[in-house]
Amino acid sequence: MNSFHTEKEQTLLGVGASPGIVIGRALMIRVDGPARKINLRDTDVAAEQDRFRQAVNRTEENLRHTRQEFAAVIAEHITIIDSHILMLRDGMLFDRTLEIIEKEKVNAEWALEQSLSRIKEIFSKVNDSYIRERFLDVRQVAEQIFTELAGTDKFPHEIDEKVILVSRDFSPADILHMQGLSGFISEGGGETSHSAIVARTLGIPAVVGLKDVTRQVGNGDLLILDGITGRVIINPQPELIEQYRERQRQYLSYSKDIARFALFRPETLDGLSVRVQANIELVEEVSQALEYGACGIGLFRSEYLYLKENGLPDEEMLFEAYRNLLSHAAPLPVTIRALDIGGDKHFPVQQEELSGRFHEKSSRYSEANPALGLRAIRYLLHEPSVFVTQLRAMLRASTFGELRILFPLISAYCELEKVKKMVSEVQESLRNEGIPFSENVQFGVMIEVPSAVALADNLAHEVDFFSIGTNDLIQYALAIDRSNEHVAHMYESLHPAVLRMIRHVAEAGHRAGIEVGICGEMAGNTMYLPILLGLGLDFFSMHPLAIPYVKRMIRNSTAEELEELAEDLLVYPSASQIRNHLQEYLFSHYPEEFPRL
């Protein structure tokens, strides 16, 4: 029993990572505390390095065994296990840990902890939350090494299939061994984490991102796990248990119907067609996106290619990645976002040769407020060699499919002019070199800041499409930092100012004859879909697994009604009024997706 544990009913809200409703008893999985530092004698250093190598070897052997055992089960996502195997020997993890053991004469656990902290620092400075979540994979790999170093098992040998597992985090390999279990909850993880992807593939309900859950839940507590809403209820009352049993029955019926909608056209009952696309970061994710019914790749995040310890990717490396991406997705369109990094989101290399100058990593750019500093398109215009390299690689790859290039964080007309000038210069350079590229590449801007909203009429005449990045737009419009626990609750997607901005951008784009879509988190949330459709957006880009659900709602909607809904909601001056009205609409028009409790 722990100090936070209570037998009273308590509701926790996390992230619904894998849908489903489970009622079962909690089984706590061992969670180790921080590594303890042990100073070594000179004569013990080599043996300690060998102990670390052997732990890594055993971890690799375990992962390869898992890969072989479950290859058929998660064939589409087996690269997730492959990526974990590769991470074991990554320089930032493996080499650096050995180096710390030798230089500081410390035990392997402490050295690995220091390496992990450094990697976390690097990933935390990337603007895109999806990329930041890739650190979870690194941490999960490290925790498997910690387990081998300790010589213990993470899971008990016998587990009752009716239990709900509770821990700080679960790796994809852990989840593969959970088949037949009811579900799991954890402190770490997010909707786009690889653990969440594996859980959804296997149909294991899960709620993640529950802060301090390992201190609030005790072994044997009765839990309700709602992987749809992200709720976990500890020690629920009998009446609530019965309500959730009815929801279990409703969800089972709904789930049997949803998969077939991946094959259907996203078209409303009165004939309005929109495009539903996928957000991805790896070429290997294209297959999954198409499997779930994506009409193309609406956002390919290119930042992951730059998170390497051994320097910036060169043109050939980028070209190969983009060529594979376009080839796999062809003939469907692919939108690649230009590098969205900068400010304190610097590259994890010791030195970088940019624009003919060397800059030490530690003193490169010191900014009091990096969110308002040199990031995204500002960074690329400040470091043209980085931008030109990426543009050349993207344009060269354009002959292998239908390419759309998206420029992030455009905040001024002059920025777009500079971008277009650089694009023209790169195109002319490729022509002079006799290097083929498509002349039909489309160019778009991400609308993420209020100034871009205000200038939407002007910007629309200079590009082929708009993509609204609601994550940043909400942050900048409301002056809210979602990572700041003191104000994060004020981050409100249904704020009337945000909705009016979206409407203004859609209207400005349509007046200029260009498409307007959305690629932020709002796009894949079915709660927001009716109002976004009503505001006139042409395409939605989201996590692949959300696509069948969104398609189903679109096909059960009437565009004319949703336009009226949007007009009604935009009259309200507060987010709470909008939310209440919208929820009533959802209850009455989409009872299967939004049953009343």
pLDDT at 456: 97
* Residues 172-195 pLDDT 10s: 888 887 766 789 999 887 766 777
CATH code for residues 42-150: 1.10.274.10
Q: Tokens 């023209």 identify what position?
A: 424
Could you give the percent of the chain with pLDDT greater than 70? 85
Ordered by start, the domain boundaries in the chain are: 10-29+161-237, 42-150, 266-589
Q: Which of 60-74, 234-248, 458-472 has the lowest mean pLDDT?
A: 60-74
Highest mean pLDDT among 127-136, 518-527, 565-574: 565-574
Q: Give catalytic status of residue 177 as yes or no.
A: no
The 10 Å Cβ neighbour count of residue 437 is 18
Q: Is the dihedral of CA 490, 491, 495, 497 positive or negative?
A: positive
Among candidate residues 295, 346, 519, 543, the one labeled active-site is 519
Q: Which of 15-24, 365-374, 573-582 has the lowest mean pLDDT?
A: 365-374
Banded pLDDT at 402 (limits 50, 70, 90): very high
pLDDT at 228: 83
* Residues 32-59 pLDDT 10s: 667 789 999 999 999 999 999 999 999 8
Banded pLDDT at 348 (limits 50, 70, 90): very low
Q: Determine the angle formed by the axes of helices 194-202 and 135-150, rounding to 10 degrees.
A: 80
Better-scored residue on pLDDT, 559 or 90: 559
Q: Cβ distance 326 to 401 under 8 Å? A: yes
Better-scored residue on pLDDT, 396 or 255: 396
Q: Which of 295-304, 499-508, 562-571 has the lowest mean pLDDT?
A: 295-304
What does pLDDT average to over the chain? 85
pLDDT at 29 over 70: yes
Better-scored residue on pLDDT, 502 or 76: 502
pLDDT at 350 over 60: no
Using DSSP's 3-state secondary structure scheme, residue 586 falls into helix
Does CATH number 3.40.50.10540 belong to domain 266-589? no
Cα(87)–Cα(138) distance, integer angstroms: 7
* Residues 189-219 pLDDT 10s: 776 677 787 887 778 899 988 888 888 998 8
* Residues 87-118 pLDDT 10s: 888 888 899 999 999 999 999 999 999 998 88
Q: What superfamily does domain 10-29+161-237 belong to in CATH?
A: Phosphohistidine domain (3.50.30.10)
Among candidate residues 194, 328, 495, 543, the one labeled active-site is 194
Cα(351)–Cα(348) distance, integer angstroms: 9
pTM: 0.68
pLDDT at 353: 37
Q: Give catalytic status of residue 414 as yes or no.
A: no
* β 21-28/222-226 pair status: antiparallel
pLDDT at 362: 34
